[in-house]
Amino acid sequence: MPRFCTHLLIVLAAMIATTAARSASERQVVVLVFDGMRPDFVSAETTPNLWGLARDGVIFANHHPVFPSATEVNGTAIATGAYPAHSTLIGNKEYRPGIDPAAPVGTEKPAVVRRGDELSQGHYLAVGTLAEFLQAHGLRTAIAGAKQVALLADRAARPDEASSPPIVFEGGALPAGLESELTAALGAFPPAGRSESGRENKLARDAWTTRALLQVLWKNGVPPFSQLWLAEPDSSQHSTGPGSSESLAAIKSSDANLGLVLAELDRRGLRATTDVFVVSDHGFSTIRHAIDVAADLSAAGFNATRTAPGGLQTGQVLVAGNGGTVFFYVGGADRDLCRRLAGWAQTRDWAGVVFAREPVEGAFGLATVHLDSPEAPDIAVAFRWTGEKSGNGTPGLICCDGTERGPGQGQHGSLSATDMHNTLIAAGPDFRAGVRDPVPSANTDLTPTILWIFGFRNEALHRDGRVLGEALAGDAPPLRSLELKHLTAQRDLGNGQAWAQYLNVSEVNGVQYFDEGNGAQVPGH
């Protein structure tokens, strides 16, 4: 182990040894998701409520999403504590021919989720969620999300009874009868698009969803576990880029909703027994260049398509864009075509890191980043990025797939340093106070840590993520190892050129965190 890693573990062990044991009093845990929140925008001016929470608790200074750094993938990681390959949800857009043989599906869509569960006998997600586990052990839950991703946390149909665990997702609700109660109390869920004043309705949707949690789902008491998923600043950053005035206003709006949650806990006298997590699903970058990858592939002579009427045929390549990463599904699983496709990607100026289902020279295997699910693509390419600043003065520029957004707007999903570092701050009776934790952590660690807080310690140790023990104010699993890895792959392209790519990985107690990865053509031999 490198000397500085060993030193870091010694220092942290000494700090942990001074903490007090956890109180045995009743606990509530509240998780708030600021969708797309970059950690460098947390400040006393922009996020006063989150800044105060950080002062009273723990800042996880080296926090990560799972890859791809996309919403549905990380919503699932937060909900399950599982790597994408184990949950089997690996993209916002995936080609699942059993659900739709003609086109990629949005993995968070209620109809897709329902059909996925029908086809798999209830295992659309191959592992159980935190909410499902807590409910099975007699603990009540309440989940509210301004986006449909919230459904992934607790998707099962349930009796239309007051005792059924409530979930709200983009204005929809389970049990079904809850929808009329929400409308009566709050009015209709704000429509998509912009309001008459010209402001993006995502702010109104966030406000409505926050009220849904506080006024309706918490009407008869705060349950042991609650989650609130806010759509901002993701929407504003997509439209105007991270660091824009509109994006900063959206961050302030999310922080104001956090303030409402904290004030409600204070009003009910529950702050002293409540652990509050504020997390984002991913980081964010500014688009340097957007590419229609399917058109680029077709121009190179491949039979590329974004839809496959009649099903994907042998020789076809179906392109599924996931923002800063693109998936390629090869008809007939033609190995020679897969190799040619990967080799072609390694010549493109937009390609960053190439992954392949079968071994390909100069590429990493899908398993390297836990994307080897049963329905994984044959090839996945994370787009190239730089650390340069945008017109808003914000570091992090990426290439991305698609024609809907262009330079100066925002995107994520890549292996860029700014996409692969996101926000996590936690405070409450089970956390140490005033601590900046430098140890790598990820969205997969929330479920194990929350299970540990609730006393389900054996279950907490059997998830892909780890218990964030160094941040807890009581007994917790020790830090045993910290290792940094630099993975590389190369391929000679001829004509004096080679393809070279890398992936930086941190590993704590055997749990992997992906820091960044990139690639480019370099001089060959």
Q: pLDDT digits over 467-497, tens only?
A: 999 999 999 999 999 999 999 999 999 889 9
* Other residues' Cβ atoms within 10 Å of the Cβ of residue 380: 28
Query: Does the structure show a pLDDT above 50 at 14?
Result: no
497 forms beta bridges with 494, 523
pLDDT, average across residues 102-118: 97
Q: Which residue has the higher pLDDT, 195 or 412?
A: 412
Domain boundaries, the chain: 26-89+125-284+419-471, 291-407+484-523
Tell me the mean pLDDT in the region 12-21: 40
| φ, ψ for residue 212, nearest 5 deg | -60, -40
So what's the pLDDT on residue 196? 53
Q: In what order do the strands lie in the sheet with 303-305?
A: 303-305, 316-322, 325-330, 379-383, 351-356, 364-365
* pLDDT at position 21 over 80: no
The pLDDT value recorded for residue 206 is 97
**Helix, strand, coil: what percent of the chain each, to 5?**
30, 25, 40
**Locate tokens 């190995």: which residue?**
335
pLDDT for 157 beyond 80: yes
Tell me: pLDDT of 523 over 50: yes
Residue-wise pLDDT tens digits, 254-308? 999 999 999 999 999 999 999 999 999 999 999 999 999 999 999 999 999 999 9
pLDDT at residue 116 greater than cutoff 60: yes
Rounded to 10°, the helix 71-80/446-453 angle is: 30
Q: Is the pLDDT of residue 17 over 80?
A: no
200 pLDDT more than 90? no
Mean of the per-residue pLDDT values for the chain?
A: 94
* Separation between Cα atoms, residue 32 and residue 494, nearest integer Å: 51
Is it the case that residue 8 has pLDDT exceeding 80?
A: no
Higher pLDDT among residues 334 and 18, named by residue: 334
Q: What is the pLDDT of residues 203-262, one digit of tens each?
A: 999 999 999 999 999 999 999 999 999 999 999 999 999 999 999 999 999 999 999 999
Q: How far apart are CA 383 and CA 498, in angstroms?
A: 18
| pLDDT at 162 (0 to 100) | 86
Any idea which of 9-13, 28-32, 240-244, 326-330 has the lowest mean pLDDT? 9-13
Out of 3.60.21.10, 3.40.720.10, 3.20.20.105, 3.40.50.720, the CATH code matching 26-89+125-284+419-471 is: 3.40.720.10
Q: What angle do CA 379, 69, 245 make, to 5 degrees?
A: 135
Q: Are strands 58-60 and 351-356 parallel, antiparallel or unpaired?
A: unpaired
Coil vs helix vs strand at 511: strand
Q: Is the pLDDT of residue 195 over 70?
A: no
What is d(CA 84, CA 91) in angstroms, rounded to the nearest whole number? 9
Band of residue 516 on the pLDDT scale cut at 50, 70, 90:
very high
The half-sphere exposure of 220 on its side-chain side, counting CA atoms within 13 A, is 7
The residue that leads in pLDDT, 210 or 402, is: 210
- The confidence score (pLDDT) of residue 201 equals 83
Q: 85 pLDDT band (50/70/90 cuts)?
A: very high
Amino acid letter, 218: W
The yes-or-no verdict on residue 11 having pLDDT over 60 is: no
CA distance 205 to 168: 12
| pLDDT-above-90 percentage for the chain | 91
Q: Is the pLDDT of residue 425 over 60?
A: yes
Q: How confident is the model at residue 35 (pLDDT cuts 50, 70, 90)?
A: very high
Long-range contact set of residues 193-200: C-beta below 8 Å, sequence gap at least 24? 200/235, 200/236, 200/239, 200/246, 200/250
pLDDT for 32 equals: 98
Q: Taking residues 385-399, report their average pLDDT.
A: 98
Quick one: average pLDDT of 100-112? 97
Residue that is written with structure tokens 């903490």 in the block: 19
pLDDT at 3 over 60: no
When pLDDT is cut at 50, 70 and 90, the band that residue 191 belongs to is very high
